[in-house]
């Protein structure tokens, strides 16, 4: 079971959460956990979900380092066989390569929340939009929310399509930075009514969320290939499915 975190809310009872962010544990980010904490506090976030690709060690480090005014949510962005799925409130990494439904089940088994990130971004091969309609509908029935605003998606219309998809399936939407650099942290976020001390509180609060819909610059997004190259030189490469999962 996941223990409750201390209460983090602003003086007026609001929570400001960025629910999709990457640390230097990701193969495509150079942001140290300690620096993510620092800029999150400076920018007024109360909750930060670190959702590294196929890893949770950076998020666990940040959770241990975080001051009282910032809650770190341990998350993961998982490349399922069908596309990316985000898990929040994890204690163990979910392996890549499972089906989307198996990935969601693995997240829920830990008591976590499952989400669809950037589902219709045509510049990423990792969206779930390529699934047949019946399978996409089944995924929508299984997840807890949809990322309806991703600050890195280049087209506003693409985020609007995600918003309409969430509404059609009765799912709450969130806005997230998807930050791969420190500059991006909190550029988009979700405002909620607190306190939020665990997955049950977050799930309940999402229905009345207010979205802060900022966008990352193209210049900053262009740094991601550089991040990947530097990490590759240091041996930090993407975690691939094991042979047992892939087979």
Instruction: With H, G, I as helix, E, B as strand and everything else as coil, classify residue 20.
Output: strand
| Alpha-carbon distances, residue 93 vs 132, 161, 184 (angstroms) | 27, 30, 25
Mean pLDDT in residue range 4-11: 55
Mean pLDDT in residue range 57-79: 98
Domains contained in the chain, CATH given: 14-246 (3.20.20.140)
Q: Which residue carries 């530097």 as its tokens?
A: 230
Q: What angle do CA 148, 17, 107 make, to 5 degrees?
A: 70
Nearest to 178 by CA among 108, 91, 77, 87: 77
Over residues 170-213, the pLDDT tens digits come to 999 999 999 999 999 999 999 999 999 999 999 999 999 999 99
Over residues 98-139, the pLDDT tens digits come to 999 999 999 999 999 999 999 998 877 778 878 899 999 999
Burial class (CB in 10 A: 0-12, 13-18, 19+), 85: buried
Over residues 69-91, the pLDDT tens digits come to 999 999 999 999 999 999 999 99
Report the percent of the chain where pLDDT is more than 90.
83
């Amino acid at each position: 079971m996941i223990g409750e975190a201390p209460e983090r809310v602003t003086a007026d009872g609001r929570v400001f959460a960025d629910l999709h962010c990457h640390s230097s544990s990701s193969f495509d980010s150079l942001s140290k956990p300690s620096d993510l904490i620092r800029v999150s506090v400076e920018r007024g976030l109360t909750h930060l979900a670190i959702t590294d690709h196929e890893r949770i060690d950076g998020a666990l480090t940040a959770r241990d380092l975080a001051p009282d005014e910032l809650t770190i949510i341990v998350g993961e962005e998982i490349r399922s066989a069908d596309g990316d799925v985000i898990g929040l409130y994890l204690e163990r990494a979910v392996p890549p390569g499972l089906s989307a439904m198996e990935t969601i089940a693995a997240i829920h088994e830990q008591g976590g929340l499952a989400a669809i990130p950037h589902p219709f971004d045509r510049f990423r091969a990792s969206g779930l939009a390529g699934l047949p309609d019946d399978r996409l509908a089944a995924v929508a029935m299984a997840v807890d929310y949809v990322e309806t605003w991703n600050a890195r998606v280049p087209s506003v219309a693409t985020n609007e399509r995600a918003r309409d998809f969430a509404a059609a399936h009765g799912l709450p939407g969130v806005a997230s930075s998807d930050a791969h650099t420190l500059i991006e942290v909190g550029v988009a976020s979700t405002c909620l009514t607190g306190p939020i001390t665990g997955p049950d509180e977050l799930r309940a609060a999402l229905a009345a969320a207010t979205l802060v819909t900022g966008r990352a610059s193209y210049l900053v997004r262009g740094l991601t290939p550089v991040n990947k190259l530097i990490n590759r030189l240091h041996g930090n490469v993407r975690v691939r499915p094991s042979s047992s999962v892939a087979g």
